Amino acid sequence: MDFSQSKTKECLARAFAGVCQDGARYQFISKSALSEGYSYIADQLKTIAKNKMAHASVLYNLMLKNMEDGGDNVTIEAGYPFESQLLRTSLQDSSEIEKNEGKNIFPHFAKIAQDEGFEEIENALTLISEVNIRNAEKLAFLAQKFDDGTLYSDDKINTWTCSNCGHSEEKKEAWDKCPLCSYPQGYVVIPEE
Ligand SMILES: [Fe+2]
């Protein structure tokens, strides 16, 4: 199959555009989280943004590698979600977006690459879809804790750690202000279940 005539080329371009836009969106949400005082969550979102740009780099390089006529414009048509940047809603919205990318969009693109014989592209798209599914789970977990008001409390004893100074304590609720560095509660690492 000639790459320039393939559906894989368009899928790769759409995937690239999608992860770039995701990367931008996570940077915006991370800033919102920081301004709302949720520093640890802001760091998590910043990490996802960084992951997205790494995915963008992989996809971009695959495009260049397969294009005989590098530098070509690739025209795509794709929908893109514009969601609220408020942390309360964006965690759940982002989880749904990641889930859709991980379970539907990227596997669909990977199948097209497989059918057309582009194994390296299929593999990258599949591995990215797996990251998206893990992101979806992580964001859904944070969204649930946020909605329940249990980000910093639990009905069982947890190890709470300050992401700034590393101080930690085992108790049911995290501190309002770190006893060591005085940084606020938003810096507390939210234990994953
Ligand atoms: Fe601290």
Give the pLDDT of residue 79.
Answer: 87
Instruction: State the Cα–Cα distance between residues 10 and 18, nearest whole angstrom.
Output: 12
Alpha-carbon distances, residue 123 vs 15, 40, 113, 130 (angstroms): 13, 32, 9, 11
Shared-domain flag, residues 45 and 32: yes
Res. 104: pLDDT tops 80 = yes
Shared-domain flag, residues 15 and 50: yes
Task: Give me the mean pLDDT over the 18-34 stretch.
Answer: 96
Shared-domain flag, residues 107 and 88: yes
Res. 108: pLDDT tops 90 = yes
Shared-domain flag, residues 126 and 61: yes
Q: Which H or E run contains 52?
A: helix 39-66
Neighbouring residues of the ion ligand 1, judged by CB less than 5 Å:
162, 164-165, 167, 178, 180-181, 183
Instruction: State the Cα–Cα distance between residues 5 and 151, nearest whole angstrom.
Output: 50
Give the pLDDT of residue 70.
Answer: 66
Centre of ligand 1 from the C-alpha of residue 183, in Å: 5
The CATH number of the domain where 180 resides is what?
Answer: 2.20.28.10
Centre of ligand 1 from the C-alpha of residue 87, in Å: 23
Alpha-carbon distances, residue 88 vs 80, 131, 145, 171 (angstroms): 20, 23, 10, 26
Shared-domain flag, residues 127 and 178: no
Res. 73: pLDDT tops 80 = yes
Centre of ligand 1 from the C-alpha of residue 182, in Å: 6
Tokens standing for 132? 């998206």
Shared-domain flag, residues 173 and 128: no
Res. 193: pLDDT tops 80 = no
Residue with tokens 């919205």: 93
Shared-domain flag, residues 25 and 58: yes
Shared-domain flag, residues 73 and 158: no
Shared-domain flag, residues 135 and 158: no
Contact 75, 86 (CB under 8 A): no
Task: Give me the mean pLDDT over the 105-116 stretch.
Answer: 98
**CA-wise closest residue to 43 among 142, 169, 158, 170:** 142
Shared-domain flag, residues 22 and 44: yes
Shared-domain flag, residues 157 and 137: no
Q: Which residue range(s) make up the domain with 171?
A: 153-189
The CATH number of the domain where 91 resides is what?
Answer: 1.20.1260.10
Task: Give me the mean pLDDT over the 141-160 stretch.
Answer: 94
Shared-domain flag, residues 39 and 128: yes
Give the pLDDT of residue 69.
Answer: 66
Instruction: State the Cα–Cα distance between residues 129 and 110, nearest whole angstrom.
Output: 9
Number of domains in the chain: 2
Reported as a pLDDT band with limits 50, 70 and 90, residue 164 is very high
Sorted by sequence, the CB contacts under 8 Å of residue 127 that are 6+ apart come out as none
**Angle between the N-to-C axes of helices 7-35 and 87-100, in degrees from 0 to 180, rounded to the nearest 10:** 160
- Bin 182: left if φ > 0, else alpha if -120 < ψ < 50, else beta: left
Task: Give me the mean pLDDT over the 137-145 stretch.
Answer: 96
